Amino acid sequence: MVTTSAGRFSLIISLIFLVSGIAPCRVDAAPTTPTTLEGLLGNWLRLPTLQHSNVGVEVMELPSGRVLYSYNGHKRFVPASTAKVFTTACAYETLGAGYTYKTQLLSTGTTSEGKLHGDIIVSPSQDPTLSRDDIRQLVAHIDTKKIHSVDGRVRLAKTPGGFEQYLPGWLVEDFGQVYMPVCSNFVVDHNIAQGTTAMKGVRVFDMSATYEINALTRSLMKSDVASAWLTYDPGNKTLRTYCGEGTTQKSPLIVADPDEYNIALVESSLADKGIHVDKSALMSRDKSNVSDAATTLIAEHLSNPLSKIITTTLHESDNLYAQQLLRTIGLLSPDQVDKVKNKDDDTTIEQRGLYRLTTWLSSIGVPPQEAVILDGCGLTRKNGLSPHALNTVLKHMATPTLNGPYLSLLKSGDNFRYKTGSMDTARSISGIVSTAGGQSMAVTIMVNNHTPSVKDLRAALGELVSLVGRIKSIQIKEPGKPEISILPTTEAKGPVEVTMASAPAAARRSPRRSSHKRRKH
């Protein structure tokens, strides 16, 4: 073989690169933009921050419901607060946007010479928004010329299956945290006491160092999760506080037995108005039944419409609101009010709510095996939802005209309405993107067991949403491989700023030093 000098030099250089393992330099053509959706999103999946994590993505065309891209789209992931999409959507469609909670003060017996010969009964409604000021306004409606004393007591009306609940599926470290108060029939001020001065004439004991608490409680209080709570004994009118590291009796305290405590707040408001009640407030756990005698309406409080409550639930990612909505679904659905009063039914409100929620999901086409739901807020790690399940709910709520009013309750960004979810090992986002070509896409991204850098992951989620938003047109010439054209990077707005769910308002007011308060939403 005849080889020129130039050829021999080229061969030697090639051998040097081969032996050294260094690729020879060359001038490449400018990188080309993928022409298929699979290529575009496949490149995104190769981002370094997503490696070693469990990732699920689905892009669904609306209103057709045609799935254009799916990567683990039918697998279940821990959803964190994107589970609130299920609860709020079901409540919105089941109860209606204008639904209002009604909390009532009722009286039993007769009234003579300003004395009520009977009880004052608080009829709760599961309203998560009721405040101490609302209680004062309820009491203010009582005409003291007609009622200035009560020879009975203040009682809480029985609610079938309604118990104070801290769900077993939530972590122990979540107890005593402002982001997840105890749920109850009668909620006041988020079931959080701002210190111990809410009621007059009540003795307060700090139990933080007592020998009476068990090892589990002691370990929780000595950890850095800053738990703080109180219990109330209506018989002795005493408060017992349990303050973990970084908290004091002046801190926001979770009320561990809110029905009892909040009934006592009503009793205290009556005293402030000058109405004397002979007997102590009745504990809600008392086995005796509230009198079946005819009751008279004294006062009534109406909440804001459900649409406003759901907006707060979604924007603030409020766990208590979501749980109370689940309880409402289980108890107050218009076609079920009478049925749930069956005294032989020992199911809880939460259980009935979950049953109605899963039944509703099945009715709109969510595959049952893709939606394992154990609470209404997404705090338990035992929840399992697929990207396809979330997109299916968004498709249903968007309606065929793509203007379903529920969508306006979601958070909004540039051409994007969405809900995020954020916990220690789970990040997710689900929403509807309006593309550059005027199309609507339901997009859900779920990442579990992610890398420690949340900042990089948040940027990655925003990048995928931005990529979908840049799509100008889609053509499907080959099944499963939609061809696309997208806006050049120079014309794009850049990655969408994804703000993960923030802490509820109560958490933002908390002086606690723990970082845990912002991570479970």
| Cβ–Cβ < 8 Å for 179, 320 | no
Q: What is the DSSP string of 142-168?
A: S-TTT-SEESS-EEEPP-TT---B--T
Query: Would you list the DSSP string of 310-329?
Result: HHHHHHTT-HHHHHHHHHHH
Q: How many helices (H) and strands (E) does the chain have?
A: 12, 23
Tokens (6 digits) for 415: 């051409």
- The DSSP secondary-structure symbol of 77 reads B
DSSP state of 208: T
CA geometry: angle 40, 46, 48, nearest 5 deg: 135
Residue 447 · residue 54 · CB < 8 Å: yes
Q: Cis peptide leading into 63, omega within 30 of 0?
A: yes
pLDDT computed for residue 143 by the predictor: 87
What kind of architecture, by CATH, is found in domain 102-303?
Answer: 3-Layer(bba) Sandwich (3.50)
Nearest to 242 by CA among 267, 266, 219, 265: 219
Q: Give the list of residues 6+ apart from residue 511 with CB closer than 8 angstroms, or none.
A: 251
The reported pLDDT for the residue numbered 384 is 97
Say what angle helices 83-95 and 387-398 make with each other, to 10 degrees: 30
Q: Are 417 and 469 in contact (CB under 8 A)?
A: no
pLDDT, position 19: 42
SS3 content of the chain, % helix, strand, coil (to 5): 35, 25, 45
User: What's the whole-model pTM score?
Assistant: 0.86
DSSP state, residue 181: P
Q: Can you tell me whether residue 217 is helix, strand or coil?
A: helix
Separation between Cα atoms, residue 323 and residue 376, nearest integer Å: 5
Any idea which fold 37-97+312-487 has?
A: Beta-lactamase (3.40.710)
Nearest to 256 by CA among 192, 339, 323: 192
Same fold flag, 37-97+312-487 and 102-303: no
132-140 vs 258-272: helix axis angle to the nearest 10? Answer: 50
Residues 437 and 487: their CA atoms lie apart, in Å, by 9
Q: For every one of its 521 residues, what pLDDT tens digit does the chain have, with 9 covering 90 and above?
A: 445 554 554 544 444 344 444 444 444 444 566 788 999 999 999 999 998 899 999 999 999 999 999 999 999 999 999 999 999 999 999 999 999 999 999 998 888 888 898 899 999 999 999 999 999 999 999 888 888 899 888 999 988 888 888 888 888 888 888 999 999 999 999 999 988 888 888 899 998 877 667 787 778 777 778 889 999 998 888 999 998 888 888 899 999 999 999 999 999 999 999 998 887 655 444 444 455 566 889 999 999 999 999 999 999 999 999 999 999 999 864 444 445 444 445 788 999 999 999 999 999 999 999 999 999 999 999 999 999 999 999 999 999 999 999 999 999 988 999 999 998 889 999 999 999 999 999 999 999 998 767 888 899 999 999 999 999 988 877 766 788 888 776 565 656 666 655 444 333 333 443 333 434 55
Residue ranges per structural domain of the chain: 37-97+312-487, 102-303
The Cα 56–Cα 427 span in angstroms is 11
